[in-house]
Chain A
Amino acid sequence: MDDAVLQLCKISKAYPGFELKDVSFELPRGYIMGLVGPNGAGKTTIIRIMMNLARADSGQAAIFGLDNVAHETEVKRRIGYVPENHNFYDDMTAGWMARFVRQYYPTWDQNYFDALAARFEIDLGKRAGALSKGNRAKLSLALAMAHRPELLILDEPTSGLDPVVRRELLGELLDFMGDGERSVLFSTHITSDLDRVADYITIIVDGRIHDSDEKDALLEKARKDEPTASIEDIVILAARGEK
């Protein structure tokens, strides 16, 4: 694929008790991909390898066509990353976090951040450590989006959030995509998020890619046997198949 923002090629990594084997998939520019699988399937590991927080034993990962290790800093300038555990300098205010983070992103748009903070109802004067879980998630997202990254990588962004906040977040993601220049990869085990907004879905089970395709295509295939099949059903079947 020519215009793929993300290309993983045979990524493998062995941990004691778990192994990621030959993970390959691509995300074309301008779309949303959901990375799904049971807990422990390897979603977070894959994301950590993309962000070079962990190093693959073999295989390559290219982001924006650049090797993610060799061009780590340049690539990260164009990525917005929201990890599963939102870590801030808890003694500092949310506003301070923004002032800290923006130093490192030349494309930072303070107006956009302020608008997001207002829309998310984050009190910028409040200590980051005192924010509720939902607000921490929103602050993380705002900090990641404010520099208008070409690729947004979210690791379980909606886990632990109530359904209202989850819907808001998904809406924000779609707005963020805007003109088709931006792409989103998000990993989740809450498949109902993906039934609606995902363009592509990559299913990972036990450290291996089970399938990676357009969501509509996966649903069509599954619905030949079961007319109301959802992504969740597909994942469950995949998980059973691998066992």
Chain B
Amino acid sequence: MTNLIWKDLYVNRSMIFIAIGLFGGLFVFGALTGSEEIAAYSLGIMNTFSPMMVPFCALNSAANEEKNRTLALLRSMPISPRTIVASKFISSLLAGILWSVINMVAASWGTRLFPGAGGEFPPSSLTGLYMMALTLPIAAVTLIAFFKWNSSAARTAIMALWVALYVIPTAFRPAGMSMTEFYLKIMSPTPSMISVVLVACLGVYVVGMLVAQAVFARRELA
């Protein structure tokens, strides 16, 4: 399985490196030069990138497999279908965790350097992790769609769910609260709420993996 995980990470290497290099680099530049704007700006981007990492890594590794038609190759080797599925889930999650760690390090560094920094969305060191966790169910559904059908289905799933991620919460906006206030509230959860979200989303992710495994084991590859 390590082999497969490594391969999927390799497939996503550009995205991972560019994200770390570009955005992380920008932040480091801002921090080292003492520029609050640059630091806050880059942290904002890093946070925006957080919800993209896991689903995109999942979709990318799926698309790569489909482009090369290597699912059939893998299935013809002594690798259980469960392992094939698990490796995609794990590699995407690892990419997300790696990104979250970097995000958190940058965010806590930033908060120490510029204690008063604000803007509309104050960089909490846990925001990145939180955003990443929220997208775990999206990645799970994306992979389920891939293993059940193909990467086009996965792409459709990701688009639809992502839109939903941003739109559906609005339905829960309490009357009397403005959109801005509402989003601020969602984006700055308490640490206990973050733990709940993390555990719940991870749980959904694992369940998604089990579903994908069951689905793939029954699938006949063309």
Contacts and interface: CB of A to CB of B under 8 A. Distances in A.
Which secondary structure dominates chain B's binding surface? Answer: helix
A83 B72 CA distance: 9
Contact of B7 (A72, A76, A88, A89): A89
Given A100-B7, A103-B3, A81 B78 contact: no
A101 interface: yes
A184 B79 CA distance: 22
A64 interface: no
B69 A87 contact: yes
Nearest to B69: A87
Which secondary structure dominates chain A's binding surface? Answer: loop
Interface residues of B, number: 18
Given A100-B7, A103-B3, A53 B77 contact: no
B220 interface: yes
B75 interface: yes
A126 interface: no
A53 B68 contact: no
A101 B77 contact: yes
Given A54-B220, A100-B3, A100-B7, A85 B78 contact: no
20 contacts: A51-B76, A53-B76, A53-B220, A53-B221, A72-B80, A73-B79, A73-B80, A76-B78, A77-B78, A83-B72, A87-B68, A87-B70, A88-B68, A88-B70, A89-B64, A89-B68, A89-B70, A90-B68, A100-B7, A103-B3
Interface of B: 3, 7, 64, 67-70, 72-73, 75-80, 218, 220-221
